[in-house]
C-alpha cells in the first residue's frame, strides 16, 4: 500500500520537480540573452555609425580648410579672409549657417621648418553634430544643439607663401621707368645669378643667361625664370658712404685740360706712373691721370683710393693690383660744375685697362668701385669695352648713374669670380657682356662681398 504524503511534502515535491524541469528546458535562453545584450549592441552600432559620420564630416572640413588656407596665403591682401570663407563655402560649409563657423587669420604662429616664415594664414572650421544612438552607451557629447546634446567637430589648416632668396649680380635701383634694358646682348652671362630691376626690365635678343630675372614692375624677357611685381630692393650699400673720409682738398681740384694735339694733361701732382705702395686711405684732389702703367701694392686687407671731384683717366695705360694686393676706388665730391666721377680713357687709344680686385675684409670688403651716393651730376658714362678694358672682381656701385655697356667685363687677374653691378639704370648693347658668375654667389663670398638678395614670393604651401 503506497505511502501517503503530507500536504507540505507534496508542495515541496512539486516545486522541486518544477525546478528540475526548468533546468532541463533550454527554450527561450536566446531571448533572455538578447534581452541583456541588445542595449550593448545598439550602443556599439550607434557609436560606430556616429563616429564614422564624424570622421567623414571632419575629413570634408579638413579638405575645405586646406584649400581655404592656400587661397588666403595666395591672396595675401586685405581681403584674404573673404576669399578663405568663399572657398570653404564651395565645400558646403557656409559661415554662420547650419551651425558652421569659419575663422581666418593672417598672424597665426608658424610651425618650425625650412623656408617657413611669417605671415602664416590659418583657417579653422567648426560645426556641431547631433547625438543619436551613442547616448545609449552614456556618451553625452560636449555641447547643446537646439536643446539636444551634440558633439563639436573642428578642422584647421595653416599655409604660408615661402620666400625664394636669390643673390643678385645686376640691380637697377630706379623705381620708375625701366632700370634694366638689353639690346641684342648675347655675351652677358649671369648663369647661376639673378638680375633685378626696381621698376620694369626688358631684355631684347638675350635673357642674359640669368638663372632668374626679377622686376618690381613688368619683366619682359630677362632671365630663364622670369618674375614680375616682386618687392623692390632697398639700396644695400648706401651706408658704406659713412666710410668715405672727409674732403681735405681745401677747395682745390686740378682738372685735366685739352692741350696741343688734342691730348689731355693735368698738374704733375695728379699724374701717376710705376709702382704705388698704398695703405689705408689715400685722397687725390681732382682728376687723376696715368702717364705710364701703374701697379698698386697694398697690405692683405687692401687700400682705398678716393678721387675727390675728379675722374680717373687711364690715358692709354693700365692700372692693376699686384698678386696679394687689393684696392677700392671711391669717387666723391660735390655736385655741379664740370666735375666727373668715374674711370675713363681720354687718350683716344684702345690699350688701357683696369685690372684689380676688391679687398676681402675691412670697411670696404668686396667693393671695387664706389660712387658717393650724394653725387647726382657728372656720374653717367658709357663703357665701350676697350677704353679702358675692365677686368674687375668685386662690386661696381653707381647708385644714381645711368650706365651704358657696349663691351666686355672680365674678372681681374688675381681676384675671385665675382662682379656685382648696382646702378640707377643700365643698358647693355650689342656685344656688351659680363663674365659668367659663380652659382649661388659662391665667388662673391670668396671675394668678401655680401651680395644683394632678391626675395621672391613662391607658391603658397600648406605647413600644418
Express each pLDDT in 375-395 by its tens digit: 999 999 988 877 788 999 999
**Per-residue confidence (pLDDT) for residue 30, from 0 to 100:** 60
128-156 pLDDT tens trace: 888 876 666 667 777 777 777 788 999 99
pLDDT at 415 over 70: yes
pLDDT band with cut points at 50, 70 and 90 for residue 76? confident
Residue with cell 687700400: 303
**Per-residue confidence (pLDDT) for residue 246, from 0 to 100:** 96
Single out the residue of 309, 319, 332 nearest to residue 398, CA to CA: 332
**Per-residue confidence (pLDDT) for residue 342, from 0 to 100:** 96
Q: CB 164: neighbour CB atoms within 10 A?
A: 17
pLDDT at 62 over 90: yes
* Exposed / middle / buried, residue 342 (Cβ in 10 Å: 0-12, 13-18, 19+): buried
pLDDT at 28 over 60: no
Q: Give the span between the Cα atoms of 30 and 37, in whole angstroms.
A: 10
pLDDT band with cut points at 50, 70 and 90 for residue 178? very high
Chain mean pLDDT for the chain: 88
HSE of 8, CA atoms in CB hemisphere, 13 A: 0
Give the phi and the psi of residue 201 in degrees, each rounded to 5: -145, 150
pLDDT at 17 over 70: no
Which has more pLDDT, 46 or 440?
Answer: 440
**Per-residue confidence (pLDDT) for residue 115, from 0 to 100:** 80
Q: Give the span between the Cα atoms of 339 and 332, in whole angstroms.
A: 10
Which value, to the nearest 10 degrees, does the dihedral of the CA atoms of residues 326, 169, 188, 213 take?
180
Q: Give me the mean pLDDT over the 154-175 stretch.
A: 93
* Exposed / middle / buried, residue 72 (Cβ in 10 Å: 0-12, 13-18, 19+): buried
**Per-residue confidence (pLDDT) for residue 391, from 0 to 100:** 94
Q: Give the span between the Cα atoms of 252 and 274, in whole angstroms.
A: 25
Residue with cell 671695387: 368
Q: Give the span between the Cα atoms of 237 and 421, in whole angstroms.
A: 11
pLDDT at 8 over 80: no
Which has more pLDDT, 183 or 125?
Answer: 125
**Per-residue confidence (pLDDT) for residue 137, from 0 to 100:** 63
Amino acid at each position: 500500500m503506497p505511502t501517503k504524503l503530507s500536504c507540505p511534502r507534496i508542495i515541496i515535491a512539486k516545486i522541486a520537480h518544477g525546478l528540475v524541469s526548468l533546468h532541463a528546458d533550454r527554450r527561450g535562453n536566446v531571448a533572455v540573452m538578447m534581452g541583456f545584450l541588445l542595449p550593448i549592441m545598439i550602443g556599439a552600432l550607434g557609436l560606430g555609425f556616429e563616429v564614422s559620420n564624424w570622421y567623414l564630416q571632419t575629413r570634408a572640413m579638413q579638405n575645405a580648410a586646406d584649400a581655404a588656407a592656400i587661397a588666403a596665403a595666395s591672396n595675401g591682401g586685405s581681403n584674404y579672409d573673404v576669399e578663405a570663407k568663399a572657398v570653404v563655402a564651395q565645400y558646403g560649409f557656409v559661415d554662420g549657417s547650419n551651425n558652421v563657423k569659419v575663422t581666418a587669420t593672417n598672424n597665426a604662429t608658424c610651425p618650425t621648418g625650412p623656408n617657413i616664415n611669417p605671415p602664416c594664414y590659418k583657417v579653422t572650421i567648426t560645426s556641431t553634430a547631433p547625438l543619436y544612438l551613442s547616448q545609449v552607451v552614456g556618451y553625452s557629447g560636449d555641447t547643446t544643439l537646439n536643446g539636444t546634446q551634440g558633439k563639436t567637430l573642428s578642422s584647421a589648416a595653416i599655409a604660408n607663401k615661402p620666400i625664394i632668396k636669390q643673390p643678385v649680380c645686376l640691380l637697377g635701383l630706379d623705381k620708375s621707368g625701366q632700370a634694366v634694358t638689353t639690346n641684342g646682348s648675347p655675351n652677358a652671362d649671369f648663369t647661376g645669378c639673378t638680375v633685378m630691376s626696381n621698376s620694369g626690365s626688358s631684355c631684347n635678343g638675350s635673357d642674359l643667361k640669368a638663372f632668374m630675372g626679377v622686376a618690381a614692375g613688368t619683366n619682359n624677357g630677362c632671365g630663364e625664370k622670369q618674375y614680375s611685381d616682386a618687392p623692390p630692393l632697398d639700396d644695400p650699400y648706401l651706408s658704406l658712404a659713412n666710410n668715405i673720409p672727409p674732403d681735405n682738398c681745401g677747395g682745390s681740384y686740378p682738372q685735366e685740360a685739352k692741350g696741343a694735339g688734342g691730348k689731355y694733361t693735368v698738374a704733375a701732382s695728379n699724374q701717376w706712373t710705376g709702382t704705388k705702395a698704398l695703405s689705408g686711405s689715400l685722397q687725390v684732389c681732382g682728376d687723376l691721370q696715368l702717364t705710364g702703367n701703374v701697379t698698386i701694392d697694398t697690405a692683405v686687407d687692401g687700400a682705398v683710393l678716393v678721387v675727390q671731384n675728379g675722374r680717373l683717366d687711364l690715358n692709354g695705360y693700365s692700372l692693376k693690383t699686384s698678386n696679394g694686393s687689393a684696392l677700392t676706388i671711391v669717387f666723391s665730391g660735390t655736385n655741379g660744375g664740370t666735375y666727373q666721377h668715374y674711370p675713363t680713357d681720354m687718350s683716344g687709344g684702345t690699350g688701357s685697362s683696369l685690372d684689380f680686385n676688391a679687398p676681402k675684409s675691412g670697411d670696404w670688403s668686396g667693393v671695387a668701385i664706389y660712387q658717393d651716393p650724394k653725387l647726382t651730376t657728372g656720374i653717367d658714362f658709357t663703357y665701350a669695352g676697350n677704353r679702358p678694358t675692365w677686368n674687375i672682381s668685386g662690386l661696381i656701385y653707381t647708385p644714381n648713374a645711368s650706365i651704358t655697356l657696349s663691351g666686355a667685363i672680365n674678372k681681374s687677374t688675381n681676384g675671385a669670380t665675382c662682379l656685382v653691378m648696382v646702378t640707377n639704370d643700365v643698358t647693355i648693347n650689342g656685344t656688351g657682356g659680363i663674365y659668367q658668375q659663380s652659382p649661388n654667389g659662391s665667388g662673391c663670398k670668396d671675394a668678401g662681398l655680401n651680395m644683394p638678395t632678391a626675395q621672391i614670393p613662391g607658391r603658397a604651401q600648406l605647413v600644418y
